[in-house]
Amino acid sequence: MSGHRSRILNGLAAALLVPALLGGCQPPPSAAAVRSVPVVGGLEHPWAVAWLPGGDLLITERPGRLRLVQGGVLQPEPIRGVPEVLAAGQGGLLDVAVHPDFATNRWIYLTYAAGSAAANHTRLARARFDGHALTDLQVLFAVPQRKAGSQHFGSRLLWLPDGTLLLAIGDGGNPPLQLEGALIRHQAQNPGSALGKVLRLNDDGSPARGTPFAGTPGALPGLWSLGHRNIQGLAIDRQGGRVWASEHGARDGDELNRIEAGVNYGWPTVTHSREYFGPAIAPATSAPGLRDPALVWTPAIAPSGLTLYDGDRYPGWRGDLFAGGLVSQQVHRLRPNPKGSVTPEQQIPIGARVRDVRQGPDGYLYVLTDGAGDGQLLRLEPS
């Protein structure tokens, strides 16, 4: 580290230490503590970013392209072999995750919307990546319920330390969309439906052992938690094992939840959200047996992308959560406490719709911005 940068970081560390010594009576550091540095641009509705061993990057574009950033340069040709997607509304090519043992097995994982405008669902697939193309494509899981419309597919992926994979799936859409004679969002409370759920799977897509609903008649194999509207961010505290999710509410009522096995998070039975046309969705915001959110955003930020920082590039930020906001056009820094609640600390202006937030292997935070041909990957650096 250069002497100049060392002085900068030491100064930041001292500035961040003062509030702790004074019992938190000083304001948190301002967003001016970091600056956004463009890494690549010219992306069309990018949705997710993941790192390969060695530092190269994979970026999904919602219209159905998987892009490679090699040596810091966006390669002009998309990666071949991507499955056909339903690129409509919120649907398309969504999340990407790299197998923990990619160096030996070459597997990458994709989620995407598939089907037609009248009958579609979320799929999880994996394929081997040889550096140029995908081969041996396998569909590992497909939501059994087919729906109409182009809303609420989810979906985020998260590897757990034991090598199993969490898959978050949206509730299917807003009124007046129906399924099985009721508003489709009520599928989130149906343990036999994949809609509005988090599943825990093995790396081959089979249900993981020890799932909490294994003994529940009719429950979907692999069901991990239920009562979700549309999760757009998943992150893990690898020291403590805590899993966090950010999810969209309807009109206001966006949530940050700590995800635990067997828990019902209430949607749409209880919620802080209101219908887009005004009235309350549920008669209450809390009820026995249903987990309250750790944080509610009102007004809505439209959360998308979430990471828990465990690096050392930003003194004082270790252990904090960073949530992207599509509507807020900010990165929201949040501090979890041991009791499970979360305190908002600051907002980092980005000036564009934030689609994903990830920590890179170099310890920096990276931000993916949405855009029709002007989406960017940014790196946040101490200013």
| Residues known to be catalytic | 152
CA distance 358 to 306: 7
CA distance 144 to 13: 51
| Count of CB atoms situated within 10 Å of the CB of 145 | 18
| Count of CB atoms situated within 10 Å of the CB of 174 | 17
Hey, which bits of 237-329 come out as E strands?
243-247, 254-259, 295-297, 303-308, 321-325
- Helix ranges (DSSP H) in the chain: 3-21, 102-105
CA distance 254 to 301: 7
Contact 347, 373 (CB under 8 A): no
Lookup: tokens for 119: 């009958």
CA distance 325 to 166: 22
Q: How many residues does this entry show for the chain?
A: 383
Contact 350, 331 (CB under 8 A): yes
Lookup: tokens for 132: 């140029």
Closest Cα to residue 271, out of 193, 196, 199? 196
Contact 49, 306 (CB under 8 A): no
